[in-house]
Chains A and B, each alone.
Chain A
Amino acid sequence: MTTISPATASAAATESSPVALVTAYFGRAIDSLASWTDLLADDPRRARAAAPVTTDVLDELVEPYARRTFDSVDLPVYGAGFIAALDSLADARSHLAWWQGADRAKLVLASQSVNKELIDYSELEWYRVPQSTGHPHVAGPYVDYLCSDEYTITVAAPVDLDGEFAGVAGLDVLIDQVERDLLPRLRAFGDDISIVNGVGRVLLSTSARRETGDSIRGAALEAFDRGACPGMALEVLTAR
Chain B
Amino acid sequence: MGSTSPAPASVQPAPSASQSSPRQEGQTDAVTIAARSGRPTRLHRAVFQPIGDEGRAALVERRIADAIIGGVLPSGERLPAETELARSFGVAPATAREALLGLRERGLIVTRRGRNGGSFVSDDADPAAFARRTLAETSRVALRDLAVHYLAITVASIELAARRADPSEIAGIRTRLERVRDDDLAAWRRVTDDTQIELAALSQSARLTREQMRLQGELSPFFALIDTDPDARHDNRERLLSVLAAVADGDEQRAVALTREKVHRCVEWLIELRESAAPPAAPARSASARTAAEAAPPAAPLNPAAPSAHHAPADTAVDESAERTPS
Q: Residues of A at under 8 Å CB distance from B?
A: 103, 105-108, 110-111, 113-115, 118-120, 123, 141-143, 145, 149-151, 199-201, 212-215, 217
Contact = CB atoms under 8 A, between A and B. Distances in A.
B44 to A, nearest CB: 25
Given A105-B90, A142-B201, A145-B209, A214 B190 contact: no
Contact residues of A: prevailing secondary structure: loop
A113 B194 CA distance: 12
Q: Which 10 pairs between the two chains have the least Cβ-Cβ distance?
A: A213-B204, A108-B88, A199-B166, A143-B201, A143-B209, A151-B206, A115-B72, A113-B217, A111-B88, A150-B206
Contact residues of B: prevailing secondary structure: helix
B74 to A, nearest CB: 8
Interface in B173-213: 175-176, 190, 193-194, 197-198, 200-201, 203-206, 209-210, 213
B147 interface: no
B269 interface: no
Interface residues of B, number: 41
Given A105-B88, A123-B175, A213-B205, 11 more contacts: A107-B88, A110-B80, A111-B80, A113-B72, A114-B72, A115-B190, A142-B201, A143-B203, A145-B198, A200-B166, A201-B204
A150 B172 CA distance: 21
B204 A141 contact: yes
Contacts of A200: 166
B235 interface: no
A111 B168 contact: no
A111 B63 contact: yes
Contacts of B84: 106, 108
Interface of B: 63-64, 67, 72-73, 77, 79-80, 84-85, 87-90, 160, 163-164, 166, 168-169, 172, 175-176, 190, 193-194, 197-198, 200-201, 203-206, 209-210, 213-214, 216-217, 220
Contact of B73 (A110, A119, A199): A110
A213 B194 contact: no
A111 B204 contact: no
Contacts of A142: 201, 204
12 contacts: A103-B90, A105-B88, A105-B90, A108-B80, A108-B88, A110-B80, A111-B85, A123-B175, A145-B201, A145-B213, A150-B206, A217-B166
B201 A110 contact: no
Contacts of B87: 105-106, 108
Contacts of B214: 113
Contacts of B64: 111
A113 B71 CA distance: 11
Contacts of B194: 114, 119
